[in-house]
Amino acid sequence: MTDHFKKSLSTIDIVALAFGAMVGWGWVVLAGGWVASAGLWGAVSAFFLGGLAVILIGLAYAELAACMPITGGEHTYTHRAFGVHVSFLCSWSILFGYLSVVAFEAVALPTVVEYLIPNYNQGYMYNVAGWDVYATWVLVGMIGSIVVTYLNVRGMEVAAWFQKLAVVGILLVGIMLFVGALLFDPNASLSNLAVPNFTNGMAGIMTVIIMVPFMFVGFDVIPQAAEEIDLSRPQIGMFLVVSLIMAVMWYMGIAWSVGHTLTLDQANSSKLATADAMTNAWQSVWAGKLLVLGGVLGILSSWNAFLIGGSRLMYAMAKAHMLPNTLAKLHPKYGTPYLTIILIGGLATLAPLFGRKALVWIVDAGGVGIVIAYTCVATAFLYLRFKEPNMVRPFRVPMGKAVGVITVVISLAMFGLYLPMSPSGLGKVEWGIFGAWSLLGVLLYLYATHKNPGKSKAFMDEEIRAIKEVNQIWLKENGMPSLAIDKQSAKQSMQ
C-alpha cells in the first residue's frame, strides 16, 4: 500500500502548474474592460504595479515552501508560526477558494461552448436566479469534470502531462495574438475611436488594479504539491517566483494587444474582447475562434491545477486529524489522494446543475477565503522572521522583515476590497455563503478535536520537528548559510 507521494514534478511541470492555474478564462472576457477603464498603457501599468504586489506575496510563499516542502503548504507554515487553530483557519479558508474555482470551471466550460457552437443549448430544465439551465449545457460541464477528475486519479504524471499540453496551447495562442498585434497598423485599420493610452488617469488605473490580484490566484498550488516536486529546495522557491513573473508578463501582453487592436467601442461592448482583438489583428474570424479554443485550454489548465491543490490540502488536513481520517489515503497503484480528488471532482460534477449565477456567487465568496489565507501566510512569514531568525531558509528573501510588512499590508488591503463599504464589496448572498462555509468548518473542527483530542497538535508538532531535522541535514550538506536571491545562489541552486 502506497503511503507517500512520488517525486514526479520537474521544473517545467511546476511552472506549468502554477502558470496554468493563474491563466484561466478571465483574460478572454475581461480584457476589454481593462483597456476601456484605464486605456492601453493604463491597463498595462495596472498589471505591472499589481503584479509587483502579488510577486511580493509570492516571495513569502517561496521562502516558506523551500523551507517546509510538505504537502499542504499554508497548512504547515501557519502551524509553525501560530499553532493548530490558525492552521485550520487558514487551510479551511483557502480550501473554499480552491473548491469554488474547480466548481466554476465546470460551469465556464459549457458557457464557452456556446460561443463555438451557437444554439447548442437544448432540453430546458429550470431557471436558477434568472439563468436558464439546459440539459446539454449541464452535460458538457459534467463530462469535463469527470474527465479532469479521472486524469488526476490516474496519477500526478498524467495530470502534469495534461497541464503541460494545455499551457503550451495557451502560450501559442497568446504569442499569436501578440505577434498579430505587433503587425497590426491601428492608423490604417481603426477609426479615431481607437483606445487611448490612458483613460480616467489614476482612477482608471486603480479600477484595473482592484481586479489584478485575483487574476493571479493559483501560484499557491505549488506549495500544496511540494512533496511531489523533484527539485532542490532553492529551486522550489525560485521557480514559484518565475511562474509569477511569467503571469505578470502574460497579462501585460494581453492588455497591450487588446488595447492596440480594438476600437474604444469594441472594448466597451465586446463579450469576448480578446477574441475580437485576435480577429482584428489577423483580419479573420478563424483567428478569433482559435483564441477561444485557447481560452478553453485556460479553463482546463486552471481546473486541473486547482483540483491538484485542493485535493492535496484536504489530504494534509485529514492526515493531521482535522478532517475524517478516511480521506488520508493514497491510491494503492497510482499514489494519488484519490478520495479527496473524487470528493472535490464529484462536487464539481454537480456544479452545473446550479446554473452560472449561483456559481458566480460561490466564486466571489471563495475569494474571501483565498485572501484570508494570503494574510495568514504573510503574517506567518513576518512572524517567523522574528520568532526564528536562524531558521534554515534555503531560499531567503532579502530584507525579509520589510517584505513581510509590505505583504501583510497588501493582503489586508485585498481583504478590504471584499468588505461592504468597498465599491467591489460582496453582497448579502456571498457573505451568507461564506458564513455557511465558516460554520461548517467550525462544526467539523469541534468534532475533530472532540474525537481526537490533542492529535492534530501532536501530529503537526512532530511534522515540524522532522522538518527541522531535515533542514539541519540540508544545511550541513550544503556547508553554507541559507541562500539569498542573487546570482551566486541561483548558480549554486542549479548545480
Q: Say which amino acid occupies 245.
A: I
Average pLDDT over residues 35-56: 91
Phi, psi of 317 (to 5 degrees): -65, -40
Report the mean per-residue pLDDT for the chain.
86
Rounded Cα distance, 492 and 234, in Å: 9
- Look up residue 354 and give its DSSP letter: G
Bridge partners, residue 229, by sequence: 9
CATH classification code of 11-487: 1.20.1740.10
Is pLDDT at 192 greater than 70 in this prediction? no
pLDDT tens digits, residue range 396-406?
A: 999 889 999 99
pLDDT tens digits, residue range 282-332?
A: 988 899 989 999 999 999 999 999 999 999 999 999 999 998 888 889 998
List the grid coordinates of 184: 497590426
> In percent, how much of the chain has pLDDT > 70?
95
pLDDT class for 193, splitting at 50, 70, 90?
low
pLDDT tens digits, residue range 209-231?
A: 877 777 888 888 888 888 888 88
Residue pair 151/158 in contact (Cβ under 8 Å)? The answer is: yes
What does each C-alpha distance from 224 to 82, 148, 438 come to in angstroms?
A: 19, 18, 21
pLDDT of residue 191: 63
Phi, psi of 243 (to 5 degrees): -65, -35
pLDDT of residue 486: 40
pLDDT tens digits, residue range 11-32?
A: 898 899 999 999 887 888 888 8
To 10 degrees, what angle do helices 156-183 and 135-153 make?
A: 120
pLDDT of residue 59: 93
pLDDT tens digits, residue range 399-438?
A: 889 999 999 999 898 888 788 887 767 788 889 999 999 9
pLDDT tens digits, residue range 337-367?
A: 999 999 999 999 998 998 877 777 888 888 8
Rounded Cα distance, 306 and 284, in Å: 34
Q: Say which amino acid occupies 328.
A: A
Q: What pTM value is reported for the model?
A: 0.87
Residue pair 17/225 in contact (Cβ under 8 Å)? The answer is: yes
pLDDT of residue 340: 95
What does each C-alpha distance from 253 to 41, 76, 80, 258, 276 come to in angstroms?
A: 11, 36, 39, 9, 16
Rounded Cα distance, 167 and 56, in Å: 24
Is pLDDT at 88 greater than 70 in this prediction? yes
Least-confidence region, from 228-242, 250-264, 335-349? 228-242
Q: Say which amino acid occupies 121.
A: N
pLDDT class for 179, splitting at 50, 70, 90?
very high
Task: Please report which helix (H) or strand (E) contains residue 114, including its range.
Answer: helix 84-116
CA atoms within a 13 Å half-sphere pointing along the CA-CB vector of 400: 26
pLDDT of residue 250: 95
Measured CA angle at 319 (ends 318, 320), to 5 deg: 90
